[in-house]
Amino acid sequence: MGFTISPILFVMAMEVILKAAEDSADPANLGNGCCMPPLKAFMDDTTIICSKEDETRRMPERLHVLMAWCRIKFKPKKSRSLSVRKGKIDATTIFTVASQQMPAVSQEPVKSLGRWYDSSMKDTKRGLETVELATEGLLAINRYGLQGKLKVWCLQFMLIPKLLWPLLIYEICSTTVEAIKAKINKFTRRWLEVPPGVTDVAMYCRKAKMRLPLKSILEEYNCGKARLLSMLEDSEDPVVKTVKPTIKTGRKWKVVEAVDEAKECLKTKEVTGQTQTDRKGLGSSTAKRWSKAEGKEKRDMVIIEIRLNEDSRRVQRAVQQPQQGQWTNWDNALQKSLTWTEIWHMAPLRISFLIRSVYDLWPSNANLVRWGKKEDPTCPLCQGRQTTEHVLSSCKIALSQGRYTWRHNRVLQELAAIISTAKGETTFLIPTR
């Protein structure tokens, strides 16, 4: 199988064998006039689905004869069988190939195409396993003697993608994902060295005045399920079209509702037309039209809309937070979007400083009074009320002592350095007469 052509040859040979065996059974009846071919194969992985017991017995025997003729051997011990009668598992029916027993799924679980199948026919156990995997992963990252920001990077680019796969293929409910998210948030806060009170709005909101490059596992799960649903809805396969598979995500969040909401939003947006929201010139951006989009483009639009809806919900929550939601009133402040490159070059406590100052989480006297640690909120310098804003930019005494001037001059120094380098480059580029 190592050579490029050999897998193709293998698949071609398998196709011939499968075609020859196909006639031993009728298409499996799935109800509602929907029939599925009895044989399904991916490389050497073959699945036989039949509606009748005798057909199910005949098919492996026929395959065995054909395989033997091709000098390939079946390994009944490695295969699994599953018998379902009236929606219930029947463990008494045992299938054989060449007088060797095939173990039932109820006896030995099997992994096929990256998915585990066991006797319960439910994914409850997989949900618990995924929570365990998340906990183990978080503790393993926590054990390394790395800087906090590197641990967050490991979480975002290694652990979360690893967790998203089981969350996508198994029917795991959204409450389980919320439990995983709570664990992830706890460790992220610890690694970023911010107080435990920092909400997930502060960590994941893309419309916040300070945007962090973090992704929320719950949002990725929602988008993954929505993409899966749209793909199944758009499927060209006749069986998928008739059966209309449902995706279970628990009672709290339903993927069908989320996708419908996104579609309605897109339709409304098309009716209202494009509105200007930023400082760019009129007509500088083009919007995609929902009615004219097709296939993958349509699916992508739905996913983007789901993310936007999630962000709007986060802003709504931020408005309700009197302390951490103060940024919702900063009309003139520009958004600061932190990138991973910037984070790499930051001193360890700077990210913590940024987050605490944006969300007013410093132990300023006003906050200490609010938290019940102190009784007097006055500033020791000017006797005004010492809030975070007061300390950082509006204490009169600090201004007269030249504390802000020093900071102001440092900013000017940076600007001057950049301008002088840029100037040096331009003089270098201008040709001399």
Positions touching Zn ion (CB under 5 A) are 379, 381-382, 384, 395
Shortest Cβ 407–Zn ion spacing (Å): 15
* Identity of the residue, 51 or 387, whose beta carbon is nearer to Zn ion in the bound complex: 387
Q: Would you state the structure tokens that stand for residue 407, as one six-digit string?
A: 């900071």
Shortest Cβ 376–Zn ion spacing (Å): 13
Residues 6+ apart with CB under 8 A from 23: none
* Identity of the residue, 184 or 395, whose beta carbon is nearer to Zn ion in the bound complex: 395
The label of the residue with tokens 């929201």 reads 277
Shortest Cβ 397–Zn ion spacing (Å): 6
Shortest Cβ 349–Zn ion spacing (Å): 23
Written as one string, the DSSP assignment of 237-305 is: -HHHHHH-------SS--HHHHHHHHHHHHHHHHHH-----SSSPTT-S----TTT--THHHHHHHHHH
Q: Would you state the structure tokens that stand for residue 426, as one six-digit string?
A: 């331009």
Shortest Cβ 380–Zn ion spacing (Å): 8
Short-list 383, 323, 391, CA closest to 358: 323
Between strands 45-48 and 84-85, the pairing is unpaired
* Identity of the residue, 152 or 395, whose beta carbon is nearer to Zn ion in the bound complex: 395
* Identity of the residue, 335 or 405, whose beta carbon is nearer to Zn ion in the bound complex: 405
CA distance 343 to 213: 9
* Identity of the residue, 167 or 395, whose beta carbon is nearer to Zn ion in the bound complex: 395
CA distance 79 to 399: 79
Shortest Cβ 408–Zn ion spacing (Å): 17
Q: Would you state the structure tokens that stand for residue 291, as one six-digit string?
A: 């009615």
Q: Is 46 helix (H, G, I), strand (E, B) or coil?
A: strand
Residue 182, class by beta-carbon neighbours within 10 Å (0-12 exposed, 13-18 middle, 19+ buried)?
exposed
Shortest Cβ 388–Zn ion spacing (Å): 12
Strand partners, 385: 378
Residue 325 C-beta-side C-alpha neighbours within 13 Å:
11
Residue type, 215: K
Buried b (16+ CB within 10 A) or exposed e, 246-278: eeebbeebebeebbeebbebbeebeeeeeeeee
* Identity of the residue, 36 or 391, whose beta carbon is nearer to Zn ion in the bound complex: 391
Shortest Cβ 392–Zn ion spacing (Å): 11
* Identity of the residue, 105 or 379, whose beta carbon is nearer to Zn ion in the bound complex: 379
* Identity of the residue, 238 or 380, whose beta carbon is nearer to Zn ion in the bound complex: 380
Q: Which helix (H) or strand (E) holds 111?
A: strand 110-112
* Identity of the residue, 146 or 382, whose beta carbon is nearer to Zn ion in the bound complex: 382
Residues 6+ apart with CB under 8 A from 365: 374, 376, 377, 378, 379, 385, 386
Shortest Cβ 393–Zn ion spacing (Å): 11
Shortest Cβ 377–Zn ion spacing (Å): 11
CA distance 331 to 347: 29
∠ CA 314-320-323, rounded to 5°: 100
* Identity of the residue, 29 or 378, whose beta carbon is nearer to Zn ion in the bound complex: 378
Shortest Cβ 308–Zn ion spacing (Å): 41
Cα–chain-centroid distance for residue 10? 36
